[in-house]
């Protein structure tokens, strides 16, 4: 760990309280000048650090820059075993995580960023990812068949919904299979990608990508009527993005252990707002009117077409009228 990271770790552990520069220098076996130099580098990177005369350096409670040091204090239980790789800007957390997984990165590696320059959504769409969001991808190596891989996305949706609800005290609803809505606006998208192990017919690895609009205010014209943020104004006296990231990871750690038990499915169904609605099923570049009639125990969306035939959807896209969105 570089000196700057060691200093940041100490400041994070004492967030809101002053840390004596001389004592810090003694603990890290460096000069006070080296401490001062690195503190200034952190300030130049945007960290809100106050120099308090005769007391030392204080990382303000309001500092909300994502780092492994800012997230780690809020991790609990099995989530403390995650390997965090936090970066300011990336092309796409999923793209990079797939490369890392292919190069044998261990299960539990999490790539986290504050901004994506080439964010990706389902069906090959781009995912708007400005520096006002939270974007993370978790590498998994689950013992699942390809048929059950949908359980990863749906369990992740419940995990993230619960995290957002805890942070905002607002209800979060799920549009099958991977979109989270709050107050009638989409605030989160989830993209799960996997590599198949040909020998055993299971998954070599899976990447769960999660993008949350934390406090984005200006959306592009093509999505401004449907997209929203979990906050219009972030709380100013706490590192809310770091707390949110940790809460998502805490819930994911719990849910990934319960995939095959499917304990979460009832909660997923309760949060779904498609059931009973007239929808359009988009597949093979064609649009089919249907009605959503349920979600089965494999997390498939059950639909009924006008000719009374029924189908269990494992993939594809569905759309609804905007007046069906939960307010």
pLDDT in tens, 14-23: 999 999 999 9
What is the per-residue pLDDT across 58-70, written as a single tens digit (0 to 9) for each? 999 888 999 999 9
What is the b/e burial string over 152-189, where b = at least 16 CB atoms within 10 angstroms of the residue's CB? Answer: bbbbbbbbbbbbbbebbeeebbbbbbbbbbbeebbbbb
Q: Does the structure show a pLDDT above 80 at 290? A: yes
- Pull the structure tokens for residue 246: 């940790």
Q: Report how far apart, in Å, the C-alpha atoms of 27 and of each of 6, 33, 42 are.
A: 10, 14, 19
Q: Does the structure show a pLDDT above 90 at 150? A: no
Instruction: Quickly state the pLDDT bin for 268 (edges 50, 70, 90).
Output: very high
Cα end-to-end span (Å), the chain: 47
Q: Does the structure show a pLDDT above 80 at 112? A: yes
Mean pLDDT of 236-244: 90
Instruction: Quickly state the pLDDT bin for 199 (edges 50, 70, 90).
Output: low
Average pLDDT, the chain: 91
- Pull the structure tokens for residue 5: 């990271």
Mean pLDDT of 170-194: 94
Q: Does the structure show a pLDDT above 90 at 148? A: no
Task: Tell me how far apart the alpha carbons of residues 134 and 119 are, in angstroms, rounded to a whole number.
Answer: 12
Q: CA nearest 228: which of 158, 323, 325, 149?
A: 325
Q: Does the structure show a pLDDT above 80 at 248? A: yes
Answer whether 293's CB lies under 8 Å from 302's CB: yes
Q: Exposed, middle or buried, 290 (CB in 10 Å: 0-12/13-18/19+)?
A: buried
Mean pLDDT of 30-57: 93
Predicted TM-score (pTM) of the model is 0.90
Q: Does the structure show a pLDDT above 90 at 187? A: yes
Instruction: Quickly state the pLDDT bin for 322 (edges 50, 70, 90).
Output: low
Question: In this predicted model, which residue has the larger pLDDT, 323 or 299?
Answer: 299
Instruction: Quickly state the pLDDT bin for 203 (edges 50, 70, 90).
Output: confident
Q: CA nearest 180: which of 192, 189, 171?
A: 189
């Amino acid at each position: 760990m570089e000196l700057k990271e060691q200093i940041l770790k100490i400041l994070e552990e004492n967030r809101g309280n002053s840390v004596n520069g001389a004592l810090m220098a003694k603990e890290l076996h460096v000069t006070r000048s080296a401490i001062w130099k690195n503190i200034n580098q952190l300030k130049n990177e945007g960290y809100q650090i106050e120099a308090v005369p005769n007391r030392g350096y204080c990382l303000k409670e309001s500092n909300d820059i994502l780092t492994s040091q800012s997230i780690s204090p809020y991790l609990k239980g099995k989530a403390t075993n995650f390997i965090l790789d936090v970066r300011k800007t990336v092309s796409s957390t999923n793209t990079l995580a797939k490369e890392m997984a292919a190069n044998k990165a261990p299960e539990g590696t999490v790539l986290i960023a504050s901004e994506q320059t080439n964010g990706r959504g389902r069906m090959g769409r781009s995912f708007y990812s400005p520096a006002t969001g939270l974007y993370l991808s978790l590498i998994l190596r689950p013992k699942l068949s390809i048929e059950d891989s949908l359980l990863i996305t749906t369990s992740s949706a419940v995990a993230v919904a619960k995290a957002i609800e805890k942070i905002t005290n607002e209800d979060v609803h799920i549009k099958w299979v991977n979109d989270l809505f709050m107050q009638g606006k989409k605030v989160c998208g989830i993209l799960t990608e996997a590599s198949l192990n040909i020998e055993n017919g299971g998954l070599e690895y899976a990447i769960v990508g999660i993008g949350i609009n934390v406090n984005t205010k200006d959306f592009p014209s093509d999505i401004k009527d449907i997209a929203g943020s979990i906050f219009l104004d972030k709380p100013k006296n706490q590192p809310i993005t770091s707390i949110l990231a940790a809460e998502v990871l805490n819930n994911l750690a719990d849910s990934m252990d319960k995939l095959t038990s499917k304990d979460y499915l009832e909660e997923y169904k309760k949060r779904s707002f498609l059931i009973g609605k007239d929808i359009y099923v988009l597949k093979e570049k064609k649009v089919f009117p249907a009605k959503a009639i349920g979600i089965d125990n494999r997390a498939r969306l059950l639909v009924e077409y006008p000719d009374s035939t029924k189908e269990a959807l494992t993939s594809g896209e569905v759309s609804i009228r905007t007046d069906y969105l939960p307010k």
